[in-house]
Structure 1
Amino acid sequence: MNQDSDDIVASKLAALAHPVRLATIRQLAAAGPAGLAAGKLAERLDVAPNALTFHLQKLAAVGLVESRREGQFVYYRAVFDTLLALTEHLVGACCCEAEDSCGPSCPTSQRR
């Protein structure tokens, strides 16, 4: 691991360090690859559309969400590859230096 990748991961985690942005990612992850229209997302989160736009811009700036326009609607979706890479960075080496795994979900216990 190098400092550059740690800086990138830190910027992604900083973007997630707000309750609305974290809830946004969870909603978009649940919606799957098709994503959600911005208005529908604002409704689900009970957030004003202009406030949601601010939060979506923060998430997009670090590559956690993408948008597409369809007519008058803007759809947002989670960037699953980036989210999974972030998770792998955080726990991918879980228990690799320990004799025991941390539990049945331990990613390295299957590699032993």
Structure 2
Amino acid sequence: MENESAIAALAALAQSTRLDSFRLLVRHEPDGLPAGEIARLVGVPQNTMSSHLAILSRAGLVRAERQSRSIHYRADLEALGALTLFLLKDCCGGNAALCAPIIAELTPCC
């Protein structure tokens, strides 16, 4: 991942509604959710949610697919993985022991 892509992804997530929406979509992988359901669960109007989802989509964090009359959104887990690796790749100057607590936090769920 390049700096530009990481900055775009982090900027997209640096807003409460977008962060909540993205985390919601990650929890609903691999099925994803329709835009209206995301808006309902996050508690924002649908037109506002459309703007937030468009920003997440432009940042490469979510993918949209039209299903009949609605648009279904899914988190892009590859993009999440790339962003996470970008942030942690040079963790602690290569001293894996210093990164062990981060890895331990992930191990039970993944």
Q: 1:30 to 1:94 in 2, by over 3 A?
A: same
Distance 1:50 1:25 in 2: 17
Structure of greater Rg: 1
Aligned length: 104
Distance 1:43 1:99 in 2: 42
1:20-39 map, 5 Å? 20-39=17-36
In the superposition, the TM-score normalised over structure 1's length comes to 0.83
Q: 1:33 deviation in Å?
A: 1.8
1:13 to 10, 13, 19: 10
In the superposition, the TM-score normalised over structure 2's length comes to 0.85
1:1-112 map, 5 Å? 5-98=2-95, 100-106=97-103
More helix by share: 2
1:1-54 per-residue CA deviation (whole Å, 9 max, x = no partner) reads: xxx811221111111110000001100000002100111111100010000000
Runs of 4+ in 1 over 4 A off after TM superposition: none
User: Any unmatched runs of 5+ in structure 1?
Assistant: 108-112
The DSSP-based 3-state class of the residue aligned with 2:22 is helix
Alignment root-mean-square deviation, CA = 1.9
**Seq. identity, %:** 35
